[in-house]
Structure 1
């Protein structure tokens, strides 16, 4: 069933709504820090990216807002960062397995260790997915998430061949995380919230300066820390399931602060991109099929849910309201993903 929501490029006047979401998202949501300068900077960078004013494509950052077209209220957001590790290192822990064996002691076992890496350079990152309470349900989470992949399909040359998603780890409402308390705090001598803020607001040189230079044996960590390695925040379970449905897989790489999982996929194999098709829109009353529909151009990109009927392979009949949300007319093309 269609809802009145549309995903559209962020505007400078979205500042108040975006700042409100930064507050609501809580501790550990690094991509939305409660910082006026950063929030305004991200809006400006996104506006420039959608307008094609970024000379180096890998520096593009595309922030989208979920808008209720009936009320004008902003109910969420999501984003695509064209390239990670380009303007600042993107440090993580890779979990490696070390085989231990001794004939003399008649022992053979494996041990996991954490090794600092910066291996996702040039990967496109999808993230900043947040839907406010009161706007959830009825497929809104899917619209907010899948619109990012339909966006990448508009101009694939602006994005990397590999796509990454970072999920928030186990962090409580007070900003405490077992992984940080039993590991990171010993090396950084600061609270998790301060380290998380520095990560969002600096070039991350402090991580290289202070992180351990040698592998950290997982078995030496307390159970509380071991148990959360690779686990996502309770609020991120739904997002994790959507990512796995798209084809993302956990690659034994975790965040250095909260231990949250990193998942990756090849761009062209992401389910929404793989199953999407280009059609010609026609206004009319038709039902029988539902899904997502998006504009084919990046600068004026918009995506929404639809009810309609596919005629043949390349003609979609849907209501005039859907075309209005996309700011398209009958006879123009759009990209659709059909729900099966």
Structure 2
């Protein structure tokens, strides 16, 4: 039996639940700050995005909540940004390798350096993946993660050809991070959390104003900072593995505040999108195959875990409970992804 969770568009009345998720996500989770105004604005922007009320769809930000369909309790969330780096810069550090050589000194060696870039213009971003502790396991994490790709598949034209994900870097329970202490603090003259909030609430001009304009040699940083470049937070290891399973790859680009990794993939190669197909759902007693299913309705997306049986390539038999969660009737079409 599948757990009764469903992913659905966030609503304005999800504010209290979203605030709880933000509080439990911990320091450094940039997309879920414990900040009332920011969270309310994100709910408003998401609602307008799903409703199609944006003049420029490329700025759409879609937040989905994972809800227990039987109790109504919110257990987690995930989100998709249609495009980044369009209305404001999306700064990161790229790690480049510089070859140093001298025939006169008979020396040759390579050195890594950090270079400020804004190279992901127009990429779609998947993120804001967080589940409360009591709601983890049983496939809930996979539902929250893969639902973003099934949602994208419902209307591919609204999203970029390339997709990225930014993972939280190494940050302790008090909000301290070795990467920030070694670099950011010297140039911004503020706490990590303050810079994090500014990044979420401004056009990021302050980054361009204050960040160093020249490469930063990695070997000049303290060991504790060097060690965390490209490493994700312990709580994000599972999310990183799922991203890699989908086809995302780390290409030496990291967050400018905590040094966490950015991973990217061509949209057409993302496994969930590539392997999903549209089928007709039938109601009945069946088992043997499991996966995820979406009603494929972009503006009122609903995605759930599913168990049942394929009848050829174009039909799938499942329980009435799954149909109810999707707000579909027997004979309706849906987008299906099955575990291989």
TM-score by length of 1: 0.99
Question: Residue 135 of structure 2: SS of its match in structure 1?
Answer: coil
Equivalent in the alignment of 1:286: 286
Q: Which residues of structure 2 form unaligned runs of 5+?
A: none
Equivalent in the alignment of 1:328: 328
Equivalent in the alignment of 2:54: 54
Distance in 1 (CA, whole Å) between partners of 2:210 and 2:55 is 34
CA shift, 1:225, in A, is: 0.2
CA shift, 1:55, in A, is: 2.2
For the pair 1:203 / 2:203, whether they are aligned, the reply is yes
CA shift, 1:268, in A, is: 0.8
Kindly tell me the number of residue pairs found equivalent between the two proteins. 340
Distance in 1 (CA, whole Å) between partners of 2:128 and 2:291 is 23
Equivalent in the alignment of 1:136: 136
CA shift, 1:202, in A, is: 1.0
CA shift, 1:36, in A, is: 1.2
Equivalent in the alignment of 1:260: 260
Deviates more, 1:192-201 or 1:208-217: 192-201
Question: Residue 112 of structure 2: SS of its match in structure 1?
Answer: strand
Distance in 1 (CA, whole Å) between partners of 2:120 and 2:231 is 20
- Provide Cα deviations, 1:31-50, integer angstroms capped at 9, x if missing partner: 11111111111111111111
Equivalent in the alignment of 1:190: 190
Deviates more, 1:238-247 or 1:183-192: 183-192
Distance in 2 (CA, whole Å) between partners of 1:23 and 1:288 is 39
Equivalent in the alignment of 2:109: 109
Equivalent positions of 1:292-331 (< 5 A) are 292-331=292-331
- Provide Cα deviations, 1:44-96, integer angstroms capped at 9, x if missing partner: 11111111111212111110000001111000000000000112111000000
For the pair 1:219 / 2:210, whether they are aligned, the reply is no
Equivalent in the alignment of 2:15: 15
- Provide Cα deviations, 1:235-256, integer angstroms capped at 9, x if missing partner: 0000000000000000100000
CA RMSD across the alignment:
0.6
Equivalent in the alignment of 1:81: 81
- Provide Cα deviations, 1:246-288, integer angstroms capped at 9, x if missing partner: 0000010000000000000000100000000100001111111
Equivalent in the alignment of 2:170: 170
Question: Residue 115 of structure 1: SS of its match in structure 2?
Answer: strand
Question: Residue 32 of structure 1: SS of its match in structure 2?
Answer: coil
Equivalent in the alignment of 1:160: 160
Question: Residue 296 of structure 1: SS of its match in structure 2?
Answer: coil
- Provide Cα deviations, 1:96-140, integer angstroms capped at 9, x if missing partner: 000000111111110000000000010000000000010000010
Equivalent in the alignment of 2:151: 151
- Provide Cα deviations, 1:7-39, integer angstroms capped at 9, x if missing partner: 000011000000111111111111111111111
Distance in 2 (CA, whole Å) between partners of 1:133 and 1:112 is 38
Distance in 1 (CA, whole Å) between partners of 2:55 and 2:338 is 35
Distance in 2 (CA, whole Å) between partners of 1:282 and 1:53 is 34
Distance in 2 (CA, whole Å) between partners of 1:330 and 1:122 is 39
Distance in 2 (CA, whole Å) between partners of 1:120 and 1:276 is 26
Question: Residue 141 of structure 2: SS of its match in structure 1?
Answer: helix
TM-score by length of 2: 0.99
Distance in 2 (CA, whole Å) between partners of 1:197 and 1:296 is 35
Distance in 1 (CA, whole Å) between partners of 2:55 and 2:329 is 31
CA shift, 1:218, in A, is: 0.2
Distance in 2 (CA, whole Å) between partners of 1:289 and 1:267 is 26
Distance in 1 (CA, whole Å) between partners of 2:112 and 2:215 is 10
Equivalent in the alignment of 1:43: 43
Question: Residue 258 of structure 1: SS of its match in structure 2?
Answer: coil
**Which of structure 1's runs of 4+ aligned residues deviate more than 4 A?**
none
Distance in 1 (CA, whole Å) between partners of 2:276 and 2:9 is 20
Equivalent in the alignment of 2:249: 249
Distance in 2 (CA, whole Å) between partners of 1:81 and 1:173 is 27
Distance in 1 (CA, whole Å) between partners of 2:33 and 2:135 is 21
Distance in 1 (CA, whole Å) between partners of 2:94 and 2:63 is 28
